[in-house]
Amino acid sequence: MDKSRGSSLRDEIRKRFWPTEDAWTGEKEIGFFQAPRTLPLVMVLVSMKTLRTKGNAARVYLELWSRHMGGGVIEMKHEGEHAYAAGYVGNRAIRTWREHMKLLEANGFIKTQASGNQQFKYVLLVHPTAVIEKLSAEGKIDPHWFTTYQTRQIETKERSFADRMKAKRAAAREAAKVVSMKTAKKASA
């Protein structure tokens, strides 16, 4: 596959300045996760005092993203494992992790589903643009942060909430056309 001009330039810079280092390129790698390029800013938002009473759920949010394998759903493992991966150790580790999970859910970043004795069996990662749209409408987002986030969205070509909703409506209209065409074909047969 031909490399883009930017990719070739980065290869040249890496070879010139760090020729002997084992660089993370992402090429042919397994065991990493997909995340929006705005994730660092979303984590800043999660940690803002306007969204929390105590504690900082940003590490829990990052740990959830790292467990995401697709479809927006995470099948949770043992709470102690998740707590440790988010940096919580000691007697209060699981309790603190649970509090931060509830904080993420209360602010709309995640939805959870219990099963049996497991309070957090499944977790849905809500699309960050949808969460930010909701929190903005509630007046919970600092205007400076929001401008910075929107600028980063433009830089990374990440669609805004409005653009995502417009695309979803267009896709739904197209799907409805396909269904009505199939129905019409069956009726005429």
Tens digit of each residue's pLDDT, the chain (189 residues): 567 888 889 899 999 999 999 888 777 788 888 889 999 999 999 999 888 878 899 999 999 999 998 899 999 999 999 999 999 999 999 999 999 999 999 999 999 999 999 999 999 999 999 999 999 999 999 999 999 999 999 999 999 899 999 998 998 888 887 766 666 667 666
pLDDT at 189: 63
pLDDT at 187: 67
Structure-block tokens of residue 189:
């047969």
Helix (H, G, I), strand (E, B) or coil at 119: strand
Structure-block tokens of residue 78:
């043992």
pLDDT at 27: 79
- Among 85, 79, 83, 87, smallest CA distance to 114 is for 79
The pTM (predicted TM-score) of the whole model is: 0.84
Q: Which residue bears the tokens 């809500």?
A: 126
| Region at 101 (left for phi over 0; alpha for psi -120 to 50; beta for the rest) | alpha
Query: Rounded CA gap, 151 and 136, in Å?
Result: 16
Query: Rounded CA gap, 111 and 129, in Å?
Result: 15
pLDDT at 83: 97
